[in-house]
Each structure stands twice: as structure tokens, then as C-alpha cells.
Amino acid sequence: MLEELLIFTRGGLILWSSCRALGGAALLKGSPIDALIRSCLLEERSGDAGFTKDAYALKWTFNNDLGLVFVAVYQRMLHLLYVDGLLAAVRKEFSQIYNPKRVSYDDLFTETFRQLHLEAEARAEAMNKSKQQPTNPSSGSGAGRGPAGKKLGPNARAGGGAAGKKNSGSGKDDSDGDSGKEHNGGFTANGTVAKGGQENGAVKDSSRAARAVVVDNDGKENGDPNDGAFDVNTLRKKTGGKKGGGGGKKNDVKKAAKTEPKKVVKQMRVWDDKPPKNEKLDFTDPADERGEEVIEKVLTNQGDSMMDKDEDLSSDSEDEEDEEEENAGAGQKKKGWFSSMFKSIAGNNVLEKSDLQPALKALKDRLMTKNVAEEIAEKLCESVAASLEGKKLGSFTRISSTVQTAMEEALLRILTPRRSIDILRDVQAAKERGKPYVVVFVGVNGVGKSTNLAKVAYWLLQHNLSVMMAACDTFRSGAVEQLRTHARRLEIPIFEKGYEKDPAVVAKEAIQEATRNKSDVVLVDTAGRMQDNEPLMRALSKLINLNKPDLVLFVGEALVGNDAVDQLNKFNQKLADLSTVPTARLIDGILLTKFDTIDDKVGAALSMVYISGSPVMFVGCGQSYTDLKKLNVKSIVKTLLK
């Protein structure tokens, strides 16, 4: 049963609703259409086949030329086969009566929809009945059937014995291209070939020829037909004989000698018997000797954090390369000016999917070269195709430029945060409530959680906020000492309990300590863990559920490609599955590290935001405490499409 069919504009104006027009239907639970708009249409996932929300399944279609959206909602357990056809029929009929100045169609479209609904249900019922009728099994093993699989008369079966054997061997009818080439036409009633005038005896001769033994160039058979084993020596002889008549073994030996790699023997390190002149190997500044001096040096020489500067992430060299490419291509553009003008002068052409495919394929390949995950690039292209299909192409407008513009708008919508990412404002709000603002850093091994935690602490210190670190990585050797060094250099307190302790309990005690000391922010460092490590993911879920942090930051490398999708998907999935509360706490934001090492391969930012829906809040771009930036969305989009 169809729950609701809704027609609205892309601006959000509801033009017609089956519930409102027909009446008698209860309101949908959980607002599935709102969820579809938020999670699918606004997130450039409109190319998906469907969407599910709680107990409902939703399907949709567009009229891009008129800017209309048609959405059908039905029970998830019901597999309604007629929904796609009904949506297509509704789109066709409603588009004919649509008037942009009219805002309600209850009295104009209700009867039309009722008729379309009944026709769609009747077609689906007839289709189900036809599928349920048993089919008569074919007699024999395919004998007596023509090229289209139709049953022939008894004479045809009697005369077409060879053809019947052929069909039984292949298990298919003769409608494919190969069999059509053999027979040169269809069968007549008496079993002869319709074209070419050959009888079935020719087919028998061909079958005998197929059973003939193949003879090689030396006049020897490939092997006894009764032998099922493959003769390797004969194959070697044949391949060797092609290059010089019987020199196969020598050639094989030469090839083996050429292809065999030389073994690289590792040279042992030679140590002098004499002790080294400088016996001190640990150059770490001890806290008791020069701690205060080091702290003063760090705080005065590092300067302001890049978080407070609006910088373009693209380098000047990249801009210069763009200008050179434009100047180099200017001559080619002048040469083909008239041809391109005549190609684009015919406007008002309706865009079809086949017209968009070449431009979309080139755009997908370009995104993948920028390190965008293949799955994400494909979904983005499908969404752009769905948004452009059916639109009219204006005069002097190329399809490639139209697709490029649509993709640029889509990328800007995806990467632009939909909620406030002003952490300083959130810290002040928590401070007014008398509670510390808690940030938990999570991620896989070796991405730089502790280092970037120190960068965030340095940025917060510059805004006159009191910060405390919590060493909750009780798993990795040296993790507590690493964080202790950062705390000493930044002159901020650190809460630690050593190793082999429950990280959730350590974080809870750290928050209590920060509340007593009236610290503004608590930065919680956690152990790196792979997304498939069940025990560590369970410990992380416990830490988040027990302490309820204000912000959960996923720290990921900008170097990853397809693995970014798997990491974020499984992190969120594990946090949801292992949560002990009904509303599971998932990842709130992303911190991208090692952004200074990727050149123009910025696709990881797009992949992570697309798959999680969380914004990129910080970008790590160096080894100093000041090397922390905001994500420049326009620069990223420009780099992706360059």
C-alpha cells in the first residue's frame, strides 16, 4: 500500500500531497521525507536507487527543467513493483498541467492520480499472475527449437537432429550472434536452413570437423584425443620452434637467466671497538635543568597559530601553472572558435543521460586522480546526472561546462559545514554552565593524534583559555611520555594514570579534576586503533558513552584514498552498534593531518565529509604548534576540478 506521494519544488513548496488530497491517511512517523531531503537530496546522493527510514522506503524522481521533485513513500516490508512506473506517469501528467504561478493542485490533479494509481496496481497484479503461471517444459534437450527459442513442428525436430544436438551441448537457444553466423538464417518447417540453401548434413559435417585432431606445424598431433592431460613438452616445443626451429630449451634458459633478479645482500654495519666520543645519545631537554627556559622559548618563538589566518591552501606555483595552461590553450581556442560556436548555438536542447556520460566519465577520472575514493566519485557523478537530466541546454552553452558547474556547486554544498564549527563559542557556553569543554581525539594508528592535540591546545592557549590534557592512551608504549613532553613545553597540566588502566575511568577522573581546577577545556588523547579491532573499539565506545564529550574528533590522514571510506564507515558503525544508549554518539568532526605532503591530492577531505556528513574542523599542515589551519572550501573545490 502506498503511504504517500508528494510533489514539491526544489525551493520546498509543497504543490500536491496524496494524504492531503485524498484524506484518511495518518501522518508518517519520524518524518521520512524530511530525512530524505537532509540525508540524500542535500548531500548529493540523489543518484541512489532508494532510501529507507525506520519502517518506510522512499523512491523519487525529478523534473529538472521545471525544478520539481516527486517522492513516493511506502512500507519497507512491502515490495511494491509499480512505484517506479507510477512515479514516471505522475511526473509526465503533472508536468503538463504545471504552472509556476499556481501553488495548489488538489482540485486539478487528484482524479488523475487516482486513475494512474489504479492502472499501476492493475499492471503489477497482471505481471504477478503471469509470473505465477507454470511454463511447459521443453521436450528433449533443446531439439526442435529455432533461433528465437520457439518450438517447431515434428518434422523440424526429426530433420534437425544435428541442430538439436548442438543446442543441447550449449544449453542455449540459437538467438545469439555465434549461432547466427553458423546457420546464416533461421529454420524452416522441414528443418532446413532458411538462407544459404544448406541442409542439416552440413551441420553434421561441421560437427565432424570440430572433432578432428589439430595438427601442429611439425606434422605431429597435439596429443592423443583419448588423453585428458595437457602435454607441456609439446607446448614448450611449439613456442620455442616459432623463434628458431627447435631452440626452445635454450631460449627458455636464456629467458630464465635474464629474468632472474640479482640478490641484494644487506651489508652489515661495522662498529668501532672504541667508545664514541659523545656518549650522550638522549638529547631531550630535562625538565629539572632547562624546563622553564624551553617553555619560554616555545611560547615566544612559535608565533600565532594559522587557525586565525584566512589563507588560500593552493600554492602560488599552482596558480602560475593554471595561467600558463590558459595561455598555451588560447591559440587552440582561437582556431576552433567558429566550430565551437556553431556547436553551441543551437540552444534549448533537452539533456539526456547519454549526452552527459562522456563529460561525467572525464570528471570521475579527474576526481579519482585527486585521491577521491572511487565509490564517492561514482556517486557524485550519478547525483549530478540526476540533477541535470531533462534540463534544457541554453544557447552558447556546452555540456562539459554545464556538468562542471553542476559538480562545482555540488562539491561546495558537501564541503560547506551545515552547523557551527566555532569551538571558541562552544567553549564559552560550556564555561558559563560551569563545566569544562571536553574534546576526544580518535583515529587509527600513526595519524598524529597526540601531535595535533598539542596544536589544538596551543591555539586555545592563544585565546586565553585554560587547557588540560588527559593521557588516556594507556595501550601504546611511550604515549604518556609523549603527551607529558607536549604538556611541559606548553606549560599546561596533564592528567595521567600510567599504563594498563581503563581509559574510560581515566577520562572521567580527568574531567572531574578539570572541574575542580576550573579548567576551560579538556583534551582527551586515546590509543590509535584499527577499525576492525573489536576490543579497542569497545573500549572507545565505553569512553564516549561514559563521559559524554562535547566533541568527538576523528583524526585522519590526508594521504588515504579508498581506505578513508572504510575507516569512517566502520568507526561510526562500531560506535553505533556498541553504544549502550538509544541515541548513539558518533563522530562530530574531522581533523585532517599531513596536509602539507599531498600536493593537489586533496580528495580525502571530500571522501571523509561525504561518507560521514561531518565537517573538517582542523587541517594539520606541518610539524610546529602553529601549523594548524581551517579548511578553505573554495580552494579545495578549485583543486579538485583543476
Per-residue pLDDT tens over the stretch 294-350:
444 455 456 777 777 765 444 444 444 444 444 444 444 444 444 444 444 444 578
Judge if 360 and 473 occupy the same domain. Answer: no
Judge if 495 and 559 occupy the same domain. Answer: yes
Q: Residue 375 burial (CB < 10 Å; 0-12/13-18/19+)?
A: middle
The average pLDDT across 273-302 equals 48
pLDDT band at 157 (very low <50, low <70, confident <90, very high): very low
Which range (55-69, 99-113, 239-253) has the least confidence?
Answer: 239-253
Judge if 397 and 534 occupy the same domain. Answer: no
Judge if 560 and 477 occupy the same domain. Answer: yes
Which range (91-95, 309-313, 625-629) has the least confidence?
Answer: 309-313
Judge if 373 and 456 occupy the same domain. Answer: no
The pLDDT assigned to 318 comes to 45
Which of 396, 415, 434 is where one domain is finished? 415
Averaged pLDDT score across all residues of the chain: 74
Q: Residue 324 burial (CB < 10 Å; 0-12/13-18/19+)?
A: exposed
Which range (52-56, 182-186, 581-585) has the least confidence?
Answer: 182-186
Q: Cell 520546498 identifies what position? A: 12
Q: Is the pLDDT of residue 171 over 50?
A: no
Judge if 507 and 528 occupy the same domain. Answer: yes
Is 72 in a helix, a strand, or coil?
strand
Contacts 24+ apart (CB under 8 A), 91-95: 91/61, 91/63, 94/7, 94/16, 94/68, 94/70, 95/63, 95/66, 95/68
Judge if 470 and 536 occupy the same domain. Answer: yes
Nearby residues of 541 by Cβ (< 8 Å), 6 or more positions away: 574, 575, 578, 579
Judge if 361 and 460 occupy the same domain. Answer: no
Instruction: Give the residue, 245 or 487, on which the prediction is more confident.
Output: 487
pLDDT band at 427 (very low <50, low <70, confident <90, very high): very high
The pLDDT assigned to 496 comes to 92
The pLDDT assigned to 640 comes to 92
The pLDDT assigned to 272 comes to 60
CB hemisphere CA count around 161 (13 angstroms): 5
The average pLDDT across 22-46 equals 73
Assess if residue 473 is contained within a domain.
yes
Mind listing the pLDDT tens digit for each residue in 455-513? 999 999 999 999 999 999 988 888 999 999 999 999 999 999 988 899 999 999 999 99
Taking a C-beta distance cutoff of 8 angstroms, is the pair 552, 544 a contact? Answer: yes
CATH code for the domain in which residue 432 is found? 3.40.50.300
Instruction: Give the residue, 545 or 259, on which the prediction is more confident.
Output: 545
Which of 415, 445, 465 is where one domain is finished? 415
CATH code for the domain in which residue 19 is found? 3.30.450.60
Q: Residue 502 burial (CB < 10 Å; 0-12/13-18/19+)?
A: middle
Helices 374-388 & 399-415 angle (0-180, nearest 10): 120
Neighbours of 504 (CB within 10 A): 18
From the list 403, 434, 439, the residue with the least C-alpha distance to 421 is 439
Assess if residue 293 is contained within a domain.
no
The average pLDDT across 23-49 equals 72
For residue 221, what are the β-bridge partners? 215
Hey, what's the torsion of the CAs at 7, 13, 19, 20, to 10 degrees? -130
Assess if residue 189 is contained within a domain.
no
Q: Which range marks the domain in which residue 356 is found? A: 350-415
Assess if residue 634 is contained within a domain.
yes
Distance CA 588, CA 608 (A): 12
Distance CA 167, CA 146 (A): 10
Judge if 576 and 427 occupy the same domain. Answer: yes
Distance CA 206, CA 210 (A): 6
Q: What percent of the chain has pLDDT over 70?
A: 65
The average pLDDT across 267-293 equals 50
The pLDDT assigned to 310 comes to 62
Q: What is the Cα 499 distance to its own chain's centre?
A: 38
Judge if 618 and 476 occupy the same domain. Answer: yes
The average pLDDT across 542-563 equals 89
The pLDDT assigned to 11 comes to 82
Q: How many domains does the chain have?
A: 3
Answer whether 0.85 is exceeded by the pTM: no
Neighbours of 510 (CB within 10 A): 27
Enter the C-alpha cell of residue 305.
Answer: 597559530
Distance CA 448, CA 203 (A): 72
Assess if residue 36 is contained within a domain.
yes
Q: Is the pLDDT of residue 135 over 90?
A: no
From the list 148, 544, 588, the residue with the least C-alpha distance to 536 is 544
Assess if residue 533 is contained within a domain.
yes
> Taken in order 594, 596, 599, 602, is the CA torsion positive or negative?
positive
Which of 399, 415, 431 is where one domain is finished? 415
Which range (129-143, 160-174, 236-250, 429-443) has the least confidence?
Answer: 160-174
Assess if residue 575 is contained within a domain.
yes
Judge if 431 and 390 occupy the same domain. Answer: no
Q: Is the pLDDT of residue 376 over 50?
A: yes
The pLDDT assigned to 84 comes to 87
The average pLDDT across 49-54 equals 78
Nearby residues of 417 by Cβ (< 8 Å), 6 or more positions away: 615
Instruction: State which amino acid sits at residue 304.
Output: D
Judge if 565 and 497 occupy the same domain. Answer: yes
Assess if residue 234 is contained within a domain.
no
Q: Is the pLDDT of residue 10 over 60?
A: yes
Instruction: Give the residue, 468 or 194, on which the prediction is more confident.
Output: 468
> DSSP secondary-structure letter at 304?
S
Taking a C-beta distance cutoff of 8 angstroms, is the pair 551, 438 a contact? Answer: yes
